[in-house]
Amino acid sequence: MSKKTNTTFTMIKPDAFKDGNSGEILAMIEKAGFRIVAGKVTQLSLEKAGEFYAVHSQRPFYKDLCAYMSSGPIFAAILEGQNAVERYRKLIGATDPKNAEEGTIRKKFARSIEANAVHGSDSDENADIESAFFFSSFEQFSAK
């Protein structure tokens, strides 16, 4: 398996960051066997949030989502691990925390379907696009 198929992208969203849950979320990520190979605190502008979520531009919640995602600092990171995209989606749980399983990050920390604590890429292709949106390859380190 190439390195490409072994990374995913995540954001600790403004609600979870503001609530001071970043440390606990990163601990869950590391305990699940992922390595953090890039990471930074940053804040999206409204315009950048719109770009990041362009795929949802026709959805009714798009405007609210962009306002929310640009409302405060986030922690953006690239995670490395076996089958990273699929395993990380399992670890974060369902979009709506009401449907998220016990032991998932969203079950523990999400406030609502919108303020749902974390983002996780949904495909290898999007993991690469989203990682590049926040980090240059120069800023990424393999921990192997």
Q: Which residues bind ligand GDP (CB under 6 A)?
A: 61, 64-65, 95, 113-114, 116, 119, 122
Shortest distance (Å) from residue 110 CB to ligand GDP: 9
Shortest distance (Å) from residue 115 CB to ligand GDP: 7
64 or 139, CB closer to ligand GDP?
A: 64
55 or 132, CB closer to ligand GDP?
A: 55
* Cα distance between residue 62 and residue 98, in whole Å: 21
Shortest distance (Å) from residue 3 CB to ligand GDP: 23
DSSP letters along the chain, please? --GGGGEEEEEE-HHHHHTT-HHHHHHHHHHTT-EEEEEEEE---HHHHHHHTGGGTTSTTHHHHHHHHTSS-EEEEEEE-TTHHHHHHHHH--SSGGGPPTTSHHHHH--SSSS-SEEE-SSHHHHHHHHHHH--GGG-----
Active-site residue numbers?
119
80 or 130, CB closer to ligand GDP?
A: 130
32 or 94, CB closer to ligand GDP?
A: 94
